[in-house]
A and B are shown apart, each in its own frame.
Chain A
Amino acid sequence: MAAETSQETREILAIRRADGESRTLAASLPRLVLEARRIAANVIHGLHGRRRAGAGESFWQYRRFVSGEPSQNVDWRRSARDDHLYVREQEWEAAHTVWLWPDRSLSMAFASKGARDSKLERGLIVTFALAELLVSGGERVGIPGLMNPTASRNVIDKMAQAMLHDDAARASLPPSFVPSALAEIVVLSDLWSPMSEIRLMLAGLSASGAHGSLIQIVDPAEETFPYSGRVEFVEPEGFGVVTAGRAESWASDYVARVALHRDEIRSETNKLDWLFSTHTTSRSAAELLLFLHSGMMAAKGSARGSTVKAGRSA
């Protein structure tokens, strides 16, 4: 019980910190506007100017009336100026749903001695900042199982409130749900779950055709395995215990095993044309945010195939 409460306290602290930090972080980046190439015209309206005529509120251009159009389209005020009939076209605006999944399981609370933030903090910071950016860019942001998509301006507060009042068990991976085909999914987790679970999750999320990114947030210690001597390793979520007699001799095997794990994830994401990257908490959060920002802005078709990494992660 005590462990749980301490875990809760830790989470609350992390949320509070992330709340503040994410705002400064978000302020440092331009509004994140997703490219909307694949978005159908009939998605819910948003503030998303698409640089082309379409359904929207802001003026785009006047064009000549083409016969066959409904006459109600004619902008009589403009047309009265000269002899032609004009149609007032609005800029096409479309909102886009982005599902963010910050992993808040016990394992994310891990922070080795040299690390600046715990993985949980880092995940939350990036989640909040991303949400803020997306919302200011007109997108709708939600957390599967916790918060419905919203385009509210105070999305960070809403997310934080939702998390603070969340009394469900903290799962590592997002619950199985069916996002719309055009939704974007961002999973921020340490992804230490067994490959089968990850595969299952990916299959579920991508079944409807949604795309997304898997970001593995790891602690530096999880990369380099700086342990020696006789060490008993405990899985924080209660999946077991391993005792290493001379931990230093395990390091190379561990590093190889981690690389294998990532390769497996990467091959899955490549199949689904998802984005996969790793992020070490020893590096700055802005780096990851910038990566996500640019990754979502980029022409995904070309980026998907290659392996993209958030900076020079170790």
Chain B
Amino acid sequence: MIAGLPLTFAQPLLLLGLLSLPVLWWLLRVMPPRPRRIEFPPTRLLFDIRPKEETPSRTPWWLTLLRLAAAALVILAAAGPIWNPQTGVGGSNAPLVILLDDGWSAAASWDTRVKAADELIANAENDRRGVALVPLSETARDITLMPAGTARVALRQISPKPYSVDRVDTLGALDRFLKATGEAEIAWLSDGVDTGRGADFTDNLAKTIGDRKLTVFEGGAAPAQALVAAENAAAKMTVKVLRTTGGVAAGVVRAIDAKGSPIGEARYAFGMQDRESEAAFDLPVELRNDISRLEISGERSAGAVQLLDKRWRRRAVGVVTGATSDTAQPLLASTFYLTRALSPFADIRLGDRGAAQQVIAQFLDQRLPMIVLADVGTLSPEIRERLNAWIDQGGVLVRFAGPRLAQADDDLVPVKLRRGGRTLGGSLTWEKPQHLASFAADGPFAGLAVPKDITVNRQVLAEPDAVLATKTWASLEDGTPLVTGEHRGKGIVSLFHVGADSRWSDLPMSGSFVEMLRRMVDMSGYTAKPGAGVASETTNVETVTPLRTLDGFGAFGPPPSTAKPMPADYRDRATSDHPPGFYGPADGPIAVNTLAAADRIASLDTSALRAQRASYTNAEPRDLRGILLSSSLALFLIDAIVVAMLGAGLAALWRRRTAAAAVLLALILSATSIAPSPTRAQSNDEFAIKSVSQTRLAYVVTGNADVDSIVKAGMAGLTLFLAQRTALEAGDPVGVDPARDELAFFPLIYWPIVPGAPKPPQDAMNRIEAYMKQGGTVLFDTRDAIEAPPGENGAAQTPGMRTLREILSSLDVPELEPVPREHVLTKTFYLLRDFPGRFNSGQTWVETLPREEDDDAASRPARGGDGVSPIIITSNDLAGAWAHRPDGQPMLPLTPGEPRQREFAFRSGVNIVMYTLTGNYKADQVHAPALIERLGQ
């Protein structure tokens, strides 16, 4: 094997042939290429020039190099190179012991491991050696020697285990086997992960095998990654990702719900030397609560899966306070303490806006699993009823005492209460403030440390009865209950006999308060659906049976026969008895994970072992001869082509090269010209130049061919009329698309409305609006005055008007009015009373003129406002009246068809165009006589 490269040669001696390359170099340099034969009539003249140079023409150095490379490739191919040769163990006849790591950490790269083992077995078969296959997870079985064929079958039957394997446990069996066998050769297919006692194993392995030959396979396969310590925190769900040093640098963790559908993905990345990273899912809590499985994407191993059960769900807790003026002193309010105490492990819905009853009803509608009522007094019967039903279905109701509760009387408390509270340590009492004495052993607070520093000044007292003691979860030193609770149906009602603020006791300020609330929350349902909570479960189940377990690759499957029922409170890492998976009832299973939250993984340090190292090779051995020979052939082909081209002369070659470059350039140019931007820009430029070089009328292209042709002819007709009658000699009219074309070049845009046409995209509407705002005028023509149904509001009911209204709905259109008699539009060129087109019944609308206050101004014959109306709406089909065929005949008949109607239609057009061009100039002209008079005389 060449150092550093997985390359060997079958016949390395042939490589000596490479020594002949310099000779070949010399030969190739000397041999001239075959000359080109050219018939040349004045050759006889050339005879006289003859003795110019006798040295043979030199082959270009690169051509020589090409040929040398081809020759070298042939020599190399003859030497039989093999890429990724089979590594392995060989050369002796001692039996081969294969130690195979098969814990979860081996699963991700299991295939390469099996392939390596397969190769080892194949080699052993060639050498006729016995094979002992030792999966390191199987500690109990004795090691036996078997023929290679059997070993291969046995290898197929091994699959990685879903739990951490302690390699040390196998050493006993190995020791016994080695003592019995004597000479043996050992190959350890390591997964490179130390899950705890790696150093022990290597030490003991060295001792066990003594001076037998050992080969350690490591490296070459991706080291394992693992997930631990998933935590559903307040804002996001986090999970720790573990790796060994030098493993994968970054990746993705996927979250999957119970049905197997993906919920989210989170990225993680390791620092250079980090072995631990964190992935965080920033998802709404409802979604986070649905996560039942986290897995590293692309990593197939049980360690890369983290199963989540109800313990990871965050509950939503509704907090209702009966106090009204709490917000005045927020730091003294009960909700403040509750919020602070609950927020680390639950999502809090505060109900401080609105009456307590409403808020409770709202929470019940939201089907919250737990509601805290802080000093809520009287409740209406309906709410009580609903609360009771909710508790029956599994809701957890936690109440805190207070002045209001002390006065109220309802059945939503676990014990019967005495009227009025008890004040301790007050001026009228002789009792001292009481301390917390104990938590009931069978209550939910069992096991909590009893804080000694809590004093209770005031409490509500329970009526002593026979069952009070069983309902007491925490009691004071004098035996009176501090917390009571009872199961009702599937739910729980509990009562803190003190307030949730600091007035009655300092319990809300203690750490125990947080712990107690956590226990309460743990009892509540883990989904918003009542009835599935822990509180509803039969708590006396001691053991749970496996439901679904993970195999070594992290896939769910039926539990193996070796899986045993486990105690319901099992929280440790998985073992062979309790493989990772879900245990218990299908509706509320308990998860067992491959790794416990505190577990970490490390690289296995095998440097202490005196062993031969080998690495997993990912690839099959490849015979490189084919590649080398074919590439050599390709080189020879290139050489032939080059020689042919050289034969055609270097100049020709150069010409061809420039031609090729030109072709390439042309290709690049055409490729870039396909790219839309330059051509688009170019056409934009052309459009702009065309539009500004002459004043042009514009119309909106509707896409309806009939309408467009009529409108185009109409605008051309108007342009012609303008040129005949006025000083405006406009260019050919332009059809524009408001979505694409720049509109600012046109004083007037005629917009025929096609009934039912879709509204232009918002982008186009924005441009229209900008155009109107910047002084342009859009003339909308619905062209359907004749279709207007009779009646008061008929003109607004035509389909064209409806379409127009649809279009205008997203425009900032000013207030409109029918053209008043004194509007400047009626006087800009001709004196007009109305604006007929093909029809004369339609109304023409313009922007409302500002109301003139004084009578003098109002009576002026022409008023123009400050600018040009940005919008003119008509339904008279002006363009239809303007349209002429090429032979000069009108395209469309007029209705009703008075002879002068067409003339007046044109005059309307002239006035509108003049209006857009000159603005309110004509309105000012009414003063001209007065001005002239003043100037002249």
Contact = CB atoms under 8 A, between A and B. Distances in A.
Contacts of A245: 32, 52-53, 55-57
Nearest to B648: A229
A299 interface: no
A291 interface: no
Contacts of B649: 227-229, 231, 247
Interface in B642-677: 646-647, 649-651
A216 to B, nearest CB: 11
B791 interface: no
Contacts of A242: 43, 46-47, 50
Contacts of A258: 42, 45
Interface stretch (A64-72, A177-185, A248-256): A248-256
A10 to B, nearest CB: 13
Contact of A234 (B40, B48, B647): B40
A248 B40 CA distance: 15
Contacts of B33: 230
For B32, B46, B53, the residue with the greatest tally of chain A CB atoms inside 10 Å of its CB is: B46
A232 B45 contact: no
For A239, A241, A243, A247, the residue with the greatest tally of chain B CB atoms inside 10 Å of its CB is: A247
Interface in A193-251: 193-194, 219, 221-222, 226-236, 239-250
Given A226-B651, A229-B650, A249-B53, A254 B36 contact: no
A250 B48 CA distance: 11
Contacts of A244: 35, 46, 52
Contacts of B56: 245
Interface string A18-52: 00000000000000000000000000000000000
A231 B38 contact: yes
A21 B853 CA distance: 95
Interface in B19-42: 32-42
B46 A250 contact: yes
A216 B651 CA distance: 28
A254 B36 CA distance: 18
Contacts of A230: 32-36, 57
A93 interface: no
A91 B35 CA distance: 66
Nearest to A219: B41
Given A230-B57, A246-B57, A240 B47 contact: yes
A257 B50 CA distance: 12
B45 A231 contact: no
B393 to A, nearest CB: 99
A232 B36 contact: yes
A245 B51 CA distance: 11
B43 A241 contact: yes
Contact of B41 (A107, A226, A231, A232): A107
A62 interface: no
Contacts of B55: 245
B39 A229 contact: no
Interface residues on B, range: 20 to 34
Contact of A257 (B37, B48, B647): B48
Contact of B38 (A194, A219, A227, A254): A227
A250 B44 contact: no
A281 to B, nearest CB: 12
Contacts of B40: 110, 221-222, 233-236
A180 B35 CA distance: 50
A221 B649 CA distance: 15
A222 B38 contact: no
Contacts of A233: 38-40, 43, 46
B49 interface: yes
A211 B44 CA distance: 28
Contact of B44 (A229, A239, A253): A239
A60 interface: no
B64 to A, nearest CB: 15
Nearest to A108: B41
A142 B462 CA distance: 152
A190 B41 contact: yes
A126 B32 CA distance: 44
A300 interface: no
A192 B46 contact: no
A116 interface: no
A261 interface: yes
A258 B44 CA distance: 11
B49 A254 contact: yes
Contacts of A254: 42, 45-46, 49
B37 A234 contact: yes
A233 B42 CA distance: 9
Interface string B882-898: 00000000000000000
Contacts of A239: 43-44
A123 to B, nearest CB: 13
A229 B38 contact: no
Interface string A105-146: 001101000000001000000000000000000000000000
A228 B49 contact: no
Contacts of A107: 41
Contacts of A246: 53, 57
For A229, A232, A235, the residue with the greatest tally of chain B CB atoms inside 10 Å of its CB is: A229
Contacts of A226: 651
Contacts of B38: 227, 231-234
Contact of B43 (A221, A229, A235, A247): A235
A101 to B, nearest CB: 17
Contacts of A221: 40
A231 B50 CA distance: 13
Contacts of A190: 41-42
Given A239-B43, A257-B46, 16 more contacts: A190-B41, A229-B647, A230-B34, A233-B38, A235-B39, A235-B40, A235-B44, A236-B40, A240-B43, A240-B44, A240-B47, A242-B50, A244-B46, A245-B57, A246-B57, A257-B45
19 contacts: A119-B41, A192-B42, A192-B45, A227-B38, A229-B35, A229-B651, A230-B34, A230-B57, A231-B36, A232-B35, A234-B39, A235-B40, A240-B43, A240-B47, A242-B47, A245-B52, A248-B651, A253-B49, A254-B42
Interface of A: 107-108, 110, 119, 190, 192-194, 219, 221-222, 226-236, 239-250, 253-254, 257-258, 261
